[in-house]
Chains A and B, each alone.
Chain A
Amino acid sequence: MGAIDITAPAAANQRQAPLSMSRPLLVLEGIEKGFGGAQVLHGIDLTINDGEFLTVLGASGSGKTTVLRLIGGFTEPSAGRILFEGADIVSVPAYRRPVNTVFQDYALFPHLTVAGNVAYGLEARGTARDVLRPKVAEALERVALKGFDARYPSQLSGGQRQRVALARALVLEPRLILLDEPLGALDAALRRQMQVFLKQLQREIRTTFLLVTHDQEEAIVMSDRICVLDAGRIAQIGTPHELYYRPASEYIARFFGDNNLIEGRLGPSAAAVRFVETAAGRLMVSTKDQSDVAEAPTGTPVKIALRPEAIQVAPGSEFENHLSGTIRDVTFAGAISQIVIQPSGETARPLTIKLASRAAGLGLSRGQPISAGWRSADCRILLR
């Protein structure tokens, strides 16, 4: 494969609010789905807004692909409604839905050329040849495959096939494009390139993208919003920022950001904070936006989610939480160094800290005593 420029300018990485964010395009309402006795989806309520990049994230078996297949029209819900701009499309067959899918493994037609594949949907609509040709050419140019018209899928690399599949959907100018683990078969470097490319493309053509993936990094990089599925239920919906900084449950906290999870019991509360009694001592946690935590009874078992990069070594007095311990391990990983410390409390679990390697290079070594601290606002109480 030639060196094709699919890297986006730096601007593509800046997060900006999508256009007309508030207008719902597709709404899933109380969707239930079972396959021969096994319940795959439980009461899914999900709104996809016009112009946004929404990712359905989940482990395998979470039901994420089923959500996509329901919207594409390849399977029917056992109960619930699928509203497209207010109209129920459950009984509309796939070939008449205003959505197009980029399939996992691409599902390119092996007997048609690249141009034939891209033209397929237009031909199915009876588009005239003289209209069709420039559209196909434009779609191929958009995915940086200009000049590949006459090739067959078997003559393309994985990344190129992926872009043909994308062009095949794009050329129909659908309101919603469904992407089923589109980057799963690509190697890591190409995957990162494609993440940026897809995100940039989505902004350019202002089309709603629904991506299904199991890769949280991919979800964070590309999405405006992420819907996390856990065993057929929605665990949390929010922006990548929200999921990262305000996880709603232990499941989300584990999924995003390698959070430290500190077990404890709720103690007394004060203005916008709550104390938690842990093996490492009494810790202070902010309860901002968490009225349920503020009101929960004292003694309730909880976990504190604490992101590794929020912990400061040798902290100053502005950090409400302090603890001392010994360094168990130091791992250098390029720009970031990871330090595992053992707090001095008898039953306290080790904590992982991530520091910029520049800051960590202060001669930290195994067995050395250390003090660490973090702000009450940088950690979060999880009731479930």
Chain B
Amino acid sequence: MQTVKHRWKDRLQRVLITTLVWTPPIGLIVLPLAGFLAYSFFALDNGEIVHRFTFGNYIRFFSDAVFVPQFLRTCLLAAGVGVITLLAAYPVALLLWSLEGRAKHLMLVLFVIPLLMSYILKIFSIRAILGGRGYLNTLLMAAGVITEPTPFLLFNLTAVFLTLSIILFPFTLLPLFVTLERIPKALIQASSDLGGAGWLTFRRVVLPLSWPGGVIGASFTFVLALGDFVTPQMVGGPTGLTFGRIVYSQFGLAYNWPFGSALAVILMAAVLAVLALAARIGRSQGGPP
């Protein structure tokens, strides 16, 4: 009798725990996302949302001459940000990795501290650097490279690219650094013992073992850059249009939620595809599955 009772209690407990664990992600993430997915199949009629199933929003996205090129250009921009942060993160991560004790932690904090700062504060700092009378222009003029402030630094796509690269840098750096830290020092010694000097050890051991971390970091950065609309808004100017800004404008300005949802769904599909690809690359390294 008692065991039956116990089993019943166990089962209840398990159901309770499962419910508790799954309620927040389902309620806060899956349901809203499903809502957007549903909205993307609705239409707008005279500013009113019509709850009638249609592929109209998706047809509009693929048939309009504006959206697809804009989407691809934004993907290219985000990919560029991912690549440039990865290239910049490698030397920094290797430097951090080579340091010991307190110096290592201090340097790490220095590179990661921007994560703790307000987004707006970071953007205005960058505007102060790139602006017409900003540090960079002043410096270039003082050096005699240019005679008057160049307008090419701010309020265009280049500015968006630079700003995103700087702001998102820690997201690429951290996973890469963590992966480097996980490489056993004995492997480096083994390579050295077998005749591998510094460069060979990097190319044959460090790079292949840390590459997955770099790819994961760069894809984080890619995903964040792809959907971002604040930075393009603040430093992009009229030419620095990105897909994130278009999505934002559908919700915030045009009040076309169904079409905005469709654009958001397309964006998310791209994000998921990139993350899946990154996970595959991550898994393909370090031997068999």
- Give the CA-CA distance A93 to B196 in the complex, in Å: 10
B192: A residues at CB distance < 8 A: 73-74, 93-95
Question: What string of 1s and 0s marks CB contacts (under 8 Å) between A334-355 and chain B?
Answer: 0000000000000000000000
From B189, B205, B288, give the contact of A103 (CB < 8 A). B189
A72 at the B interface (CB under 8 A)? yes
A99: B residues at CB distance < 8 A: 193
Contact in complex: B189, A100 (CB < 8 Å): no
Contact in complex: B194, A154 (CB < 8 Å): no
Contact in complex: B193, A72 (CB < 8 Å): yes
B204 at the A interface (CB under 8 A)? yes
- Give the CA-CA distance A337 to B285 in the complex, in Å: 56
CB distance from A167 to the nearest CB of B (A): 12
A152 at the B interface (CB under 8 A)? yes
- Give the CA-CA distance A125 to B204 in the complex, in Å: 13
Contact in complex: B190, A109 (CB < 8 Å): yes
B195 at the A interface (CB under 8 A)? yes
- Give the CA-CA distance A169 to B194 in the complex, in Å: 7
Contact in complex: A100, B193 (CB < 8 Å): yes
**Which residues A76-101 have CB closer than 8 A to chain B?**
93-96, 99-101
A307: B residues at CB distance < 8 A: none
Contacts A74-B189, A100-B193, A120-B191 given; indicate if A107 touches B184 (C-beta within 8 A): yes
A101: B residues at CB distance < 8 A: 189-190, 193
A155: B residues at CB distance < 8 A: 287-288
- Give the CA-CA distance A180 to B197 in the complex, in Å: 22
CB distance from B69 to the nearest CB of A (A): 40
Contacts A110-B286, A120-B204, A172-B194 given; indicate if A94 touches B209 (C-beta within 8 A): no
- Give the CA-CA distance A154 to B285 in the complex, in Å: 13
B87 at the A interface (CB under 8 A)? no
**Which residues B8-48 have CB closer than 8 A to chain A?**
none
Contact in complex: A125, B195 (CB < 8 Å): yes
Binding site of B, secondary structure by majority: helix, strand, loop or mixed? helix
A121: B residues at CB distance < 8 A: 194-196
B253: A residues at CB distance < 8 A: none
- Give the CA-CA distance A121 to B191 in the complex, in Å: 8
- Give the CA-CA distance A103 to B184 in the complex, in Å: 12
- Give the CA-CA distance A100 to B189 in the complex, in Å: 11
A108: B residues at CB distance < 8 A: 190
Contact in complex: A107, B209 (CB < 8 Å): no
Q: Which single residue of chain A is at the shortest CB-CB distance from B186?
A: A107
Contacts A111-B286, A152-B287, A154-B287 given; indicate if A124 touches B190 (C-beta within 8 A): no
- Give the CA-CA distance A152 to B286 in the complex, in Å: 9
Contacts A94-B193, A120-B196 given; indicate if A105 touches B287 (C-beta within 8 A): no
A246 at the B interface (CB under 8 A)? no
Contacts A95-B195, A120-B204, A124-B195 given; indicate if A107 touches B190 (C-beta within 8 A): yes
Interface size on A, residues (CB 8 A): 30
B194: A residues at CB distance < 8 A: 95, 100, 120-121, 124, 168-169, 172
Q: Which single residue of chain A is at the shortest CB-CB distance from B288?
A: A152
B208 at the A interface (CB under 8 A)? yes
Contact in complex: A111, B208 (CB < 8 Å): yes
- Give the CA-CA distance A93 to B208 in the complex, in Å: 24
**Which residues B176-204 have CB closer than 8 A to chain A?**
184, 186-187, 189-197, 200, 204
- Give the CA-CA distance A30 to B221 in the complex, in Å: 55
A267 at the B interface (CB under 8 A)? no
CB distance from A156 to the nearest CB of B (A): 11
CB distance from B271 to the nearest CB of A (A): 28
CB distance from B230 to the nearest CB of A (A): 39
Contact in complex: A110, B200 (CB < 8 Å): no
A308 at the B interface (CB under 8 A)? no
- Give the CA-CA distance A169 to B195 in the complex, in Å: 11
Contact in complex: A153, B197 (CB < 8 Å): no
A125: B residues at CB distance < 8 A: 195
**Which residues A252-293 have CB closer than 8 A to chain B?**
none
Contact in complex: A154, B186 (CB < 8 Å): no
Choose among A72, A104, A110 the residue with the greatest number of B CB atoms under 10 Å from its CB.
A110
Contacts A120-B204, A154-B287, A154-B288 given; indicate if A107 touches B187 (C-beta within 8 A): yes
Contact in complex: A153, B193 (CB < 8 Å): no
- Give the CA-CA distance A234 to B184 in the complex, in Å: 31
From A103, A123, A172, give the contact of B186 (CB < 8 A). A103
Q: Which single residue of chain B is at the shortest CB-CB distance from A105?
A: B186
Contact in complex: A109, B193 (CB < 8 Å): no
Contacts A120-B196, A124-B196 given; indicate if A110 touches B287 (C-beta within 8 A): yes
A-B contact pairs, 14 of them (CB 8 A): A72-B189, A73-B192, A95-B193, A95-B194, A95-B196, A103-B190, A107-B184, A107-B186, A120-B196, A121-B195, A124-B195, A124-B200, A152-B287, A155-B287
Q: A72-B193, A95-B194 known; 13 other A-B pairs, CB under 8 Å?
A: A73-B192, A73-B193, A93-B192, A93-B197, A95-B197, A103-B190, A103-B193, A104-B186, A107-B190, A109-B191, A153-B287, A155-B288, A169-B194
Q: Closest 10 A-B residue pairs measured CB to CB?
A: A121-B194, A152-B287, A107-B186, A124-B195, A107-B190, A94-B192, A124-B196, A95-B192, A101-B193, A111-B208
Q: A-side interface residues toward B, CB under 8 Å?
A: 72-74, 93-96, 99-101, 103-105, 107-111, 120-121, 123-125, 152-155, 168-169, 172
